[in-house]
Amino acid sequence: MRISIFGLGYVGAVCAGCLSSRGHEVVGVDISATKIDLINQGKSPIVEPGLQQLLQQGIQSGRLRGTTDVAAAIAASELSMLCVGTPSKKNGDLALHFIESVCAQVGEALRSKSEWHSVVVRSTVLPGTVKNFIIPILEECSGKRAGIDFGVAVNPEFLRESTAIKDYNFPPMTVIGELDSRSGDLLQDIYQELDAPIVRKSIEVAEMIKYSCNVWHATKVTFANEIGNIAKAAGVDGREVMDVVCQDHKLNLSKYYMKPGFAFGGSCLPKDVRALTYRAGQLDVEAPLLGSLMRSNEAQVQNAFDIITSYDKRRIALLGLSFKAGTDDLRESPLVELAEMLIGKGYDLSIYDRNVEYARVHGANKDYIESKIPHVSSLLDSDLDSVIARAEIIVLGNGDERFRALAQQVPEGKQIVDLVGFMAHTSGAGREGICW
């Protein structure tokens, strides 16, 4: 199939690589000439294991190319996937200016196209957004009618950063929300070869499924963290408790996310919790659990800060800055927030994160690092041994496997604070876990 992908960030770049590797002709579109240049050189604009190899294969085979020309991309494809960002506003609602802009451009390009074309929204949007916001823009700019002259569908992604390619190839399910069956059929053809159930629903149901999944994941993280905090205060290892809770596969569904640890972060969970909570308020629906999730998450960052500062030591090494290992994504990383708290209190802080170090020179996060957190990124050191040697307290911040040995064998004269769960035992001399 001939597919155009708008937005070559974490979702769009992974989709471009995976779809081209499965034989589809893919043209990636982005306003960033830098990203397009990287794609056309077979280089990944983001840190994601295995992605660069897929992009290289796509370029070499001729099945993948990048462009900034929207009209050319629409003309060369029969289905477009919109993968642009939908960040949070200050009030928690979604900012839709990126998707508004791309829909207007796609609509203008559709005006002069006589063949049928389907527009598929992969960006995460609140229920009602496609019907009440996206479709009107497409219809106004194209002069055509959705579902009659062109197709519209929603295809929410369930890709986790650092495991995105595996998640694409082995999804738990494929959700298709369709305005018209023709667009649903096209998407079903794309995903038919994947070993996962295909669920076809209305657009609004599909929009809501994505939020329900992400907010449930955030709820599980929060629940496990609060259980871990209470358990530790009672002299119990919270991990041991939750390991048993997670053995109930009939009622508790899954053990994923159900482990005590540090706060959640990234581009999805915080944004989606805020957005769904905001929408509940608009609808005059009380949602006290959802309303408490971000407060509890923030309290977990404060909890880590309190543990670190309880020791009479000033030199601190923070190992990890991205919100999880295997990615360079710093958006809403709780480790960035923790670093800023330590800087604000005058601690001597050194930071090590090999992926973020890479992103300072290459990739999509370079501008973010330079413009949004220069005071934090200036403390990055590419020499792990040097960072450890200078520190009195070593904070294990994300799950990079190179940090595990420090939790098992504490360097002489150092204090380990484990936010990940590397420690084999509960807190003791020279080491302390956040929930164990």
Per-residue pLDDT of the chain (436 residues), as tens digits, is: 999 999 999 999 999 999 999 999 999 999 999 999 999 999 999 999 999 999 999 999 999 999 999 999 999 999 999 999 999 999 999 999 999 999 999 999 999 999 999 999 999 999 999 999 999 999 999 999 999 999 999 999 999 999 999 999 999 999 999 999 999 999 999 999 999 999 999 999 999 999 989 998 998 899 888 888 888 888 889 899 899 988 887 656 566 776 889 999 988 889 988 987 898 888 888 888 878 999 999 999 999 999 999 999 999 999 999 988 888 888 889 999 999 999 999 999 999 998 887 666 566 667 677 767 788 888 999 999 999 999 999 999 999 999 999 988 899 999 999 999 999 888 788 999 999 9
pLDDT attached to residue 9:
94
Is there a domain that residue 65 lies in?
A: yes
pTM: 0.81
Point out the domain boundary residue: 201, 234, 265: 201
Angle at alpha carbon of residue 435, lines to 429 and 436, rounded to 5°: 45
Is there a domain that residue 289 lies in?
A: no
Query: Two tokens at 274?
Result: 């805020």
Domain match, 165 and 222 both: no
Q: Is 68 annotated as a binding residue?
A: no
The answer to whether the beta carbons of residues 27 and 77 sit under 8 Å apart is: yes
d(CA 52, CA 47) in angstroms, rounded, equals: 9
Domain match, 24 and 43 both: yes
d(CA 31, CA 102) in angstroms, rounded, equals: 10
Q: What CATH number has the domain bearing residue 409?
A: 3.40.50.720
What is the total count of domains within the chain?
Answer: 3
Residue with tokens 């530790």: 232
Domain match, 80 and 135 both: yes
d(CA 212, CA 4) in angstroms, rounded, equals: 28
pLDDT attached to residue 311:
96
Domain match, 220 and 112 both: no
Q: Is 161 annotated as a binding residue?
A: yes
Is there a domain that residue 269 lies in?
A: no
Helix axes 269-282, 288-309, angle to 10 degrees: 140
Is there a domain that residue 415 lies in?
A: yes
Q: Is 93 annotated as a binding residue?
A: no
Is there a domain that residue 56 lies in?
A: yes
Instruction: Give a three-class secondary structure readout of the chain.
Output: CEEEEECCCHHHHHHHHHHHHCCCEEEEECCCHHHHHHHHCCCCCCCCCCHHHHHHHHHHHCCEEEECCHHHHHHCCCEEEECCCCCECCCCCECCHHHHHHHHHHHHHHHCCCCCCEEEECCCCCCCHHHHHHHHHHHHHHCCCECCCEEEEECCCCCCCCCHHHHHHCCCCEEEEECCHHHHHHHHHHHCCCCCCEEEECHHHHHHHHHHHHHHHHHHHHHHHHHHHHHHHCCCCHHHHHHHHCCCCCCCCCCCCCCCCCCCCCCCHHHHHHHHHHHHHHCCCCCHHHHHHHHHHHHHHHHHHHHHHCCCCCEEEEECCCCCCCCCCCCCCHHHHHHHHHHHCCCEEEEECHHHHHHCCCCCCHHHHHHHCHHHHCCECCCHHHHHHHCCEEEECCCCHHHHHHHHCCCCCCEEEECCCCCCCCCECCEEECCC
Q: Is 262 annotated as a binding residue?
A: yes
pLDDT attached to residue 172:
92
Q: Is 132 annotated as a binding residue?
A: no
pLDDT attached to residue 358:
64
Q: Is 256 annotated as a binding residue?
A: yes
d(CA 335, CA 314) in angstroms, rounded, equals: 18
Residue with tokens 């200078």: 390
Q: Is 265 annotated as a binding residue?
A: yes
Exposure letters 62-90 (e unless 16+ CB within 10 A, then b): ebbbbbeebbebbbbbbbbbbbbbbebee
The answer to whether the beta carbons of residues 423 and 238 sit under 8 Å apart is: no
Domain match, 171 and 316 both: no
| 130: Cβ contacts below 8 Å, ≥ 6 apart | 121, 152, 154, 177, 179, 203, 204, 207
Domain match, 194 and 314 both: no
Point out the domain boundary residue: 201, 234, 263: 201
Query: Two tokens at 322?
Result: 């991205």
Domain match, 233 and 311 both: no
Domain match, 140 and 130 both: yes
Is there a domain that residue 225 lies in?
A: yes
β-strand 25-29 against 2-6: which pairing, if any?
parallel
Is there a domain that residue 153 lies in?
A: yes
CA 56 to chain centre: 23
Catalytic residues: 268
Q: How many CB atoms lie within 10 A of CB 425?
A: 11
| pLDDT per position as a tens digit, 25-72 | 999 999 999 999 999 999 999 999 999 999 999 999 999 999 999 999
| pLDDT per position as a tens digit, 146-191 | 999 999 999 999 999 999 999 999 999 999 999 999 999 999 999 9
The answer to whether the beta carbons of residues 58 and 16 sit under 8 Å apart is: yes
Domain match, 56 and 160 both: yes
Domain with 112 in it: 2-201
Domain match, 117 and 234 both: no
Domain match, 182 and 315 both: no
Q: Is 152 annotated as a binding residue?
A: no
Q: Is 214 annotated as a binding residue?
A: yes
Is there a domain that residue 116 lies in?
A: yes
Radius of gyration of the chain (CA): 23
Q: Is 124 annotated as a binding residue?
A: yes
Domain match, 197 and 211 both: no
